[in-house]
Amino acid sequence: MLSRCWTLFVGPHFSKKINLETSFYKYSFKKLQNLLADQDINPDQARLLYNWHYKKNQTDPCSLFGLSDKAKNYISSGFHFKRPEIIEIKESDDGTVKFLFSLKDQKTVETVLIPFNKKYTVCLSSQVGCAMKCAFCFTGTQGLSRHLETDEIVGQFLEVQTWLTKNRPLDDIILNIVFMGQGEPLHNFDSVKEALEIFISQYGLSLADHKITVSTSGYLPGLKRWKAEMPSVNIALSLHSVFDEKRSRLIPINTKYPLSEIIPIIESIPEGKKRFVTYEYLLIEGFNDSEEDALATAQMLTNTKAFVNLIPFNPFPGSEFKRPTKEKIEAFYRIIQSHRIPVTLRTTKGDQILAACGQLNTNHLKLKG
Ligand code: SF4
């Protein structure tokens, strides 16, 4: 294929042919450097390319000052900048926005933008559906369709950021990224890791690693790889009960990977004195909201790096669980707090549009056609 740059460099130098359908968003900075080096292009040009696209949102390398002709032709003839397409947007009265994305194979995933004091957290999906089948989660009812590729994860973020700049220009700052959308991120370890590297690269999006959190149901094969391979982002565990019997009812993989195996690994992960492990605790009426549950949770987490995030259950169509009363929620909160464990009570946002935690699902959308 001929390059679009008029300074086409023709020769035997393109030693490793790249697939013409390759997305630029598949390449972490390091991988892009390696790719350029494979082509006898100075790997330092990756810095220019990252800056040019992720900071300046440019897509035509032909006009990129300082980029060699060979690099221009290599990029312009071999890469595309296509992103998942937003096909539906729902906005809640509280400012939460839910995006439905269509992927290259027409499968769909949801991404949620959550406002807080004129800044935003974006909640990304890592899989189409999910194999973990957590009993409280609407996504879990869908089953796993496939993993998302790196470009589909990065593309969600970039599209949401573009929407925000266009539609809410006065408060367009995305402060946090959480992997708490559809999917178990550690089940799709390689693509999630690659996307994280793109997010935090100083030459690209430059997002702060301590503002990014990956949430897991306790997928042990991924946890075992974390320390050696994952960038230094935060980790959150869906705890929901410290009793294995109860936890297994909510999170079936707990039977295979019980708390006794995953907690020591999780507690060894945070880097730096100020880093915590967030333990997500979904409060469900009459199931895990008793004084005994609260005391056992506090005992297990005393003297650890725990930060507890209590989340009152968000009902979804067909769910068997209910949200506890305000009094029960507050009593649970006070017990955790009395053990000097940092704890927050998450305000539910987006439940009006089924965008709250555990409510994402794209099957019902397909049915609507
Ligand atoms: S809570 Fe997370 S891991 Fe569990 S089924 Fe839902 S998306 Fe999957």
Closest protein CA for atom 7 of ligand 1: 183
On the question of pLDDT at 73 being above 70, the answer is yes
pLDDT digits 0-9 by tens, 219-264: 999 999 999 999 999 999 999 999 999 999 999 999 999 999 999 9
Domains and CATH numbers, the chain: 22-80 (1.10.150), 85-368 (3.20.20.70)
Cβ–ligand 1 contact at 218 (below 6 Å): no
Cα-based angle 344, 137, 302 (whole degrees, multiple of 5): 35
Long-range contacts of 57-64 (CB under 8 A, 24+ apart): 60/4, 61/5, 62/4, 62/5, 62/6, 62/7
**Residue numbers annotated as active site:** 110, 357
Note the helical H segments in 219-313: 220-229, 244-250, 259-267, 291-301
- pLDDT tens digits for range 141-200: 889 999 999 999 999 999 999 999 999 887 768 889 999 999 999 999 999 999 999 999
Q: What is the reported pLDDT for 11?
A: 38
User: How confident is the model over 312-342, as pLDDT tens digits?
Assistant: 988 777 778 899 999 999 999 999 999 999 9
- Helix residue ranges per DSSP H, 27-125: 29-38, 45-50, 69-78
Ligand 1 pocket residue status of 132, Cβ below 6 Å: yes
Give residue 109 CA to ligand 1 midpoint distance, Å.
Answer: 14
Please provide residue 218's backbone torsions phi and psi, each rounded to the nearest 5 degrees.
Answer: 110, 40
